[in-house]
């Protein structure tokens, strides 16, 4: 047997052992959760994360464990991470809503215009990956319908094939555009969750500047900039300020 085959077999068995280990840890964590041993369940779930596995189900379960322990920041943090991997999931949104009700901060979002609301509703029907897959499917449909237009014999069939190809091409182009716009939104968005019980947000990145407002554990912010050990953040109502970076955790770090 060649060296390459031996290495492939070693890699294959290593992956299989890793999968089996993570599965055993997940089952053990679920058992701890069902027995009310939430701290032990968290330890098992975190060990899976350390092994390099990330999934919406894993983060969702971590959120549930922290919620049971009344840990507001971590529970919201893990629900939000689960939502990044599985957008619009009803169960995650439901539990996230319960966790958000435990926050002290009630930040009202800036009102959106009707056009902005319509845009947001349309773009977020799918993730940008799903929009991309839809675009590929529609382009394939366009090619097949266009080929059918040339090979079909009857005028009525040719007409249907031509109309289908035009619609598929138009919807495919629209799907590509939406996927691009959503990806741009995703790249420009850098959300984080406040983990400190209370933190003063200042006008400048230093301890001598004036505090402009105060945030509490579990509040979601968007990170705009970073300077040394400080991060500039923006909250849903449009207010901005600086706070020490140790007071928050970024959601997109996997």
Query: HSE of 4 in the Cβ direction (CA atoms, 13 Å)?
Result: 0
pLDDT at 116: 80
pLDDT at 1: 54
Domain boundaries in the chain? 3-100, 114-188, 191-250
pLDDT at 234: 95
Mean pLDDT by 10 residues, the chain (254 residues): 48 50 92 96 96 94 97 97 90 96 83 80 81 94 94 90 95 93 86 96 94 96 95 94 96 88
| CATH dotted code for 3-100 | 1.25.40.10
pLDDT at 118: 82
pLDDT at 80: 97
What is the edge-to-edge ordering of all strands in the sheet holding 230-234? 211-216, 198-202, 240-244, 230-234, 220-227, 191-194, 248-250
CATH 2.30.30.40 fits 191-250, yes or no: yes
Return d(Cα 4, Cα 178) in angstroms, integer: 44
Return d(Cα 61, Cα 151) in angstroms, integer: 54
Angle between helices 56-68 and 90-100 (to 10 degrees): 30
Q: Give whole-number Cα distances, 24 to 44, 48, 161, in Å.
A: 9, 10, 53
pLDDT at 12: 39
């Amino acid at each position: 047997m060649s060296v390459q085959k031996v290495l492939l077999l070693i890699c294959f068995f290593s992956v299989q052992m890793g999968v089996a280990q993570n599965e055993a840890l997940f089952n053990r964590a679920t058992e701890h959760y069902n027995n009310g041993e939430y701290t032990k369940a968290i330890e098992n779930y975190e060990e899976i994360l350390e092994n390099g596995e990330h999934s919406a189900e894993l983060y969702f379960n971590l959120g549930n464990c922290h919620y049971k322990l009344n840990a507001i920041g971590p529970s919201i943090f893990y629900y939000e991470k689960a939502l990044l991997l599985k957008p619009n999931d009803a169960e995650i949104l439901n539990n996230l809503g319960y966790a958000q009700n435990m926050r002290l901060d009630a930040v009202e979002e800036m009102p959106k215009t009707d056009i902005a609301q319509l845009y947001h509703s349309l773009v977020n029907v799918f993730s940008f990956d799903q929009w991309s897959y839809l675009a590929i499917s529609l382009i394939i449909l366009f090619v097949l319908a266009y080929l059918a237009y040339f090979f079909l014999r009857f005028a009525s069939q040719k007409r249907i094939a031509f109309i289908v190809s035009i619609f598929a091409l138009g919807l495919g182009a629209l799907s590509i555009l939406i996927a691009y716009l959503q990806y741009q939104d995703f790249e420009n968005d850098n959300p984080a969750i406040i983990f400190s019980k209370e933190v003063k947000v200042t006008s400048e990145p230093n301890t001598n500047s004036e505090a402009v407002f105060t945030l509490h554990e579990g509040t979601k912010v968007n990170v705009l900039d970073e300077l040394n050990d400080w991060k500039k953040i923006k909250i849903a109502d449009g207010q901005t300020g600086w706070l020490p970076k140790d007071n928050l955790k970024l959601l997109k770090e996997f």
